[in-house]
């Protein structure tokens, strides 16, 4: 048996290839939409992809199940569980609890494990050449290393109400009836790693085992004591903010993502064409330079993606393909680099990348408005105090923020403009270090909102506060002997 893991650092997402090397047949589970790397992997091992499936309706990325099936002729399978509202809208074979897919001597058995979502399936892998019982579990968003899939996304991202409680109880039952019924030796291969918003404390390990999770996971004592209420309360407490684009991913995955086929390489765009396109709203520049360089001079109304490795995540925060008709032009040295950005963009359904510019010569630039921590502190209690927006997560905000700051995470700001604390007035925004804030601030500026970035973001504010505290302490200590001498 061959089992390969393809991990996307951008979205902290994992796809799996399972194959019987004797028969040459392979199954892909939870493929992402840019399928080139998976096709290359199968070709490298001399395999035919004969089946493709997924664990559930994903919220954080667009599935490549349809894309890979179309590219290879493989049979597409999807969960048929969860009830009428959770059925897929495209042609594929439906899988239910206990159904199997056979690859030579390998048997893949679907197990219904609801909780994260109602239709969620996990897949048990049995290598019949060496064993007569499962050795691996592809757990999707059911069980992660050290954590569980969050059951509140339907409330948090899709707009449903109070489904999180039923989902949490379903998760408790799935653990009890499916996961903990497995032998300790079964290796667990999850669908996400650390950094994903699909759980609140996902470990960085690529895999775990049933026995390890049974003994050491935070939820183990609740299951051992059959404490369902305590489990539900602990699971739901402190879940991270869900990005606004998750609702679009759910809907498009259920309908069936549009097929990409062979995409042409982005073409080089002349400065005159870009200038005209930005003027009439048909083109938008995606500036990929580091934050410090953009602060020296940015093209007005450009988006800003300062971290190439998080391009999918950040473009989904900054651009809504369902409401924005513009085509994207990325700042990149060549077509190959621009194509790499395109691969990231299509993972979140942003198919609008049309070209690239290798440099910004000939384009207008101006330094974005910024303010230092000391300057902001001097204005906080004055008549010209700006509105403040913390674009970190709720949990980060609760742990300390600039006094008076509202909170709206960077993955939501563009989609909840009605929740901004300033109605047309100056808005100072910040995150922790400035990276997420750079993405959010540029998107807000393009949407017509005057934004000032806090230089160095909250980390700089915290340092300034600490310095002020030390200065006040030294002043107090210096004045203490004088006060004692005068009897004060």
Please check the confidence at residue 216 and state whether its pLDDT lies above 90.
yes
Higher pLDDT, 95 or 485: 95
Q: What pLDDT is recorded for position 488?
A: 47
| Domain containing residue 274 | 267-357
Q: What pLDDT is recorded for position 476?
A: 64
Q: What pLDDT is recorded for position 481?
A: 57
The confidence band for 381, taking pLDDT boundaries of 50, 70 and 90, is confident
E runs forming strands in 40-168: 48-53, 75-79, 93-95, 100-103, 106-112, 121-127, 136-140, 143-144, 147-148
The confidence band for 480, taking pLDDT boundaries of 50, 70 and 90, is low
Residues sharing a CB contact under 8 Å with residue 149, sequence separation 6 or more, in sequence order:
115, 116, 120, 140, 141, 142, 143, 171, 198, 199
Task: For residues 99 and 140, state if they share a domain.
Answer: yes
Please check the confidence at residue 152 and state whether its pLDDT lies above 70.
yes
- For residue range 284-308, what is the model confidence (pLDDT) as tens digits? 999 999 999 999 999 999 999 999 9
Task: For residues 306 and 188, state if they share a domain.
Answer: no
Please check the confidence at residue 434 and state whether its pLDDT lies above 60.
yes
Task: For residues 229 and 303, state if they share a domain.
Answer: no
Task: For residues 238 and 322, state if they share a domain.
Answer: no
Determine, yes or no, domain membership for 244: yes
Provide the token pair at 283.
């083109």
The span from the first CA to the last CA of the chain, in angstroms, equals: 83
Q: What pLDDT is recorded for position 479?
A: 62
Mean pLDDT, residues 438-452: 96
The confidence band for 2, taking pLDDT boundaries of 50, 70 and 90, is very high
Please check the confidence at residue 341 and state whether its pLDDT lies above 60.
yes
Determine, yes or no, domain membership for 430: yes
Please state, in angstroms and rounded to a whole number, the distance separating the CA atoms of residues 346 and 338.
Answer: 13
Residues sharing a CB contact under 8 Å with residue 43, sequence separation 6 or more, in sequence order:
none
Q: At 84, which CATH number?
A: 3.60.15.10
Domains held by the chain: number = 3
Please state, in angstroms and rounded to a whole number, the distance separating the CA atoms of residues 246 and 417.
Answer: 17
Task: For residues 18 and 134, state if they share a domain.
Answer: yes
- Whole-structure pTM value: 0.94
Provide the token pair at 415.
């989609």
- For residue range 83-131, what is the model confidence (pLDDT) as tens digits? 999 999 999 999 999 999 999 999 999 999 999 999 999 999 999 999 9
The confidence band for 240, taking pLDDT boundaries of 50, 70 and 90, is confident
Please check the confidence at residue 53 and state whether its pLDDT lies above 70.
yes
Please check the confidence at residue 485 and state whether its pLDDT lies above 60.
no
Q: At 350, which CATH number?
A: 3.40.250.10
């Amino acid at each position: 048996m061959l089992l390969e893991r393809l991990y996307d650092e951008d979205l902290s997402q994992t796809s799996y290839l399972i194959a019987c090397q004797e028969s040459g047949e392979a199954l892909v589970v939870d493929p992402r939409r840019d399928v080139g790397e998976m096709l290359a992997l199968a070709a490298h091992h001399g395999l035919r992809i004969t089946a493709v499936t997924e664990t559930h309706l994903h919220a954080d990325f667009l599935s490549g199940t349809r894309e890979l099936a179309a590219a290879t002729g493989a049979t597409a399978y999807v969960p048929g569980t969860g009830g009428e509202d959770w059925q897929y809208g495209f042609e594929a074979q439906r899988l239910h609890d206990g159904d199997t897919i056979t690859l030579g001597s390998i048997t893949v058995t679907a197990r219904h494990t609801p909780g994260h979502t109602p239709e969620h399936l996990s897949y048990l892998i049995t290598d019949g050449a060496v064993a007569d019982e499962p050795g691996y579990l592809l757990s999707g968003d059911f069980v992660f290393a050290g954590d569980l899939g969050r059951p509140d996304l339907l409330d948090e991202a899709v707009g449903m109400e109070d489904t999180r409680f039923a989902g949490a109880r379903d998760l408790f039952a799935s653990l009890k009836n499916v996961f903990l019924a497995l032998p300790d030796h079964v290796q667990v291969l999850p669908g996400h790693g650390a950094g994903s918003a699909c759980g609140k404390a996902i470990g960085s390990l690529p895999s775990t085992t049933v026995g390890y999770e049974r003994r050491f996971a935070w939820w183990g004592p609740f299951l051992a004591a059959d404490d369902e209420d305590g489990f539900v309360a602990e699971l739901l407490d402190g879940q991270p903010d869900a990005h606004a684009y998750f609702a679009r991913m759910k809907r498009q995955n259920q309908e069936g993502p549009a097929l990409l086929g062979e995409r042409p390489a982005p073409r080089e765009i002349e400065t005159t064409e870009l200038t005209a396109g930005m003027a009439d709203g048909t083109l938008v520049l995606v500036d990929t330079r580091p934050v410090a360089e953009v602060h020296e001079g940015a093209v007005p109304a450009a988006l800003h993606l300062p971290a190439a490795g998080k391009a999918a995540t950040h473009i989904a925060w900054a651009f809504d393909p369902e409401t924005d008709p513009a085509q994207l032009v990325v700042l990149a040295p060549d077509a190959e680099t621009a194509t790499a950005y395109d691969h990231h963009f299509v993972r979140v359904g942003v198919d609008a990348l049309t070209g690239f510019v290798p440099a910004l010569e000939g384009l207008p630039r101006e330094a974005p408005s910024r303010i230092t921590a000391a300057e902001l502190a001097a204005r906080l209690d004055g008549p010209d105090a700006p509105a403040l927006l913390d674009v970190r997560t709720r949990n980060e905000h609760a742990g300390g923020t600039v006094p008076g700051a509202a909170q709206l995470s960077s993955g939501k700001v563009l989609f909840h403009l009605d929740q901004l604390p300033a109605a047309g007035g100056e808005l100072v925004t910040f995150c922790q270090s400035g990276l997420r804030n750079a993405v959010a601030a540029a998107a807000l500026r393009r949407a017509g909102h005057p934004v000032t970035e806090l230089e160095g973001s909250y980390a700089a504010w915290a340092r300034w506060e600490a310095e002020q505290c030390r200065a006040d302490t030294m002043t107090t200590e210096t004045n203490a002997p004088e006060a004692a001498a005068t009897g004060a």
